[in-house]
Amino acid sequence: MIREIVDHIQTNFSFSIEQIEPFPYSSSTRRWVVTTDQENKLFIENYHLNHIESLKTALKIQNQLNDAGVVCPQVYHQDDQFVFITHSGYVYYLMSFWEGEPIESGEASWLQMYDLGRVIGYMHYVLADLPSGRQDWTPSRLTLLHRWRTEWEKSQSEETSIRIRFLLKRQRELIDEIDMKLLQSCQSGWAHNNLRAENIFYLGNLVSGMIGFDQVKYVYPHLDIARMILTGAFSMESGMDLEKAAAFLAGYRLYRSLSLKQVACAFQLLWCLEAPQCFTADIETKSIKEQRLFEENCWIMEHWWDLEEVLDI
């Protein structure tokens, strides 16, 4: 596959590729770093054929962000074409490489969180000027209830711990109490929508690159805020580091105003989006990454009604 992609690149661009290596910061076998005859490093990702249209939109937005100075790679294109397909049907995109390394979830320093907030704030500032899109997701009580019933039925077996059954019961109570109209009225807009630890790169205390823009959607931009605070400031052992959370918010507010009410809404929206994925009867048998997602959303559920007070530091 990669050989065919490389041949396609060399046919369509004015450089040749001399070295191919797997991308070192991902478990995916569909990402590579290549070195050209001009001694430039480039990033290649093979993509799914059935998501081409949304990928085209996402990569075009990424290039607009790059043009505006957001720390994300430039996407290579020809005649406004950002996605390429080989003769065998392999879909790929190509972009400039970046320096830096990702940091494990919960391991970012205060200064790194501050700079991350600054970068996300500026990204949202640029995204706010783009034309509106079609709303891709809104929170739904019916969707939450449907998934909850499935997992609750599974949890009645002896294999599910008392703690998980208790948290599933608490989840149902919260679903009944949520003011969906209030959440649905939160500000819509373009969001990165995929801000995981493996997609953020640092050089020292500064963010040096962001990737994962293939998931860009017109949803609620504040989802990015809650997801990034949890990724950077939440620890499985000690919970939320509120000083790191405050550092992120301070950096973000350099470019975008943000009230505590909006921050609380961000976490509540994120819970509605992620809880159906991670509140499962068998969560204790899943990977550490999946269990972390669960514990992050348990933290939101625990503080649902006092999020503004908790984050007011």
- Same domain, yes or no, for 82 and 181? no
Together in a domain, 46 and 164:
no
Structural domain tally of the chain? 2
What pLDDT was estimated at residue 158?
77
Q: Name the band, by pLDDT with cuts 50, 70 and 90, for residue 181.
A: very high
> pTM for the complete prediction?
0.95
CA nearest 179: which of 305, 280, 306?
305
* pLDDT (tens digit per residue) in 240-277: 999 999 999 999 999 999 999 999 999 999 999 999 99
pLDDT at 159: 87
| Distance, CA of 220 to CA of 268 (rounded, Å) | 12
Same domain, 226 and 261: yes
Same domain for 115 and 82? no
Q: How many residues does the chain have?
A: 313
Place of tokens 């990454």: 289
**Domain identity same for 92 and 114:** no
Bigger pLDDT: 39 or 75? 75
31-50 confidence digits (pLDDT tens): 999 999 988 999 999 998 77
Residue 53 exposed, middle or buried by CB count within 10 Å (0-12, 13-18, 19+): exposed
Do 34 and 124 fall within a single domain? no
Q: Is the pLDDT of residue 87 over 80?
A: yes
- DSSP strands (E only) in the chain: 17-22, 31-36, 41-47, 84-85, 91-96, 189-191, 200-203, 206-210, 217-219, 234-235, 239-240
Shared domain check, 306 and 182:
yes
Both structure tokens of 84 = 């390429």
pLDDT in tens, 125-170: 999 999 999 999 999 999 999 999 999 999 998 789 999 999 999 9
* 164 plus 123 within the same structural domain: yes
- Does residue 87 share a domain with residue 185? no
- Residue 254 has a pLDDT of 98
Are residues 183 and 272 in contact, defined by beta-carbon separation less than 8 angstroms? yes
List the domain range (segments joined by +) for residue 284.
110-310
Based on the fold, state whether residues 86 and 161 are members of the same structural domain: no
Q: Which residues contact 74 (CB under 8 A, 6 or more apart)?
A: 63, 66, 95, 96
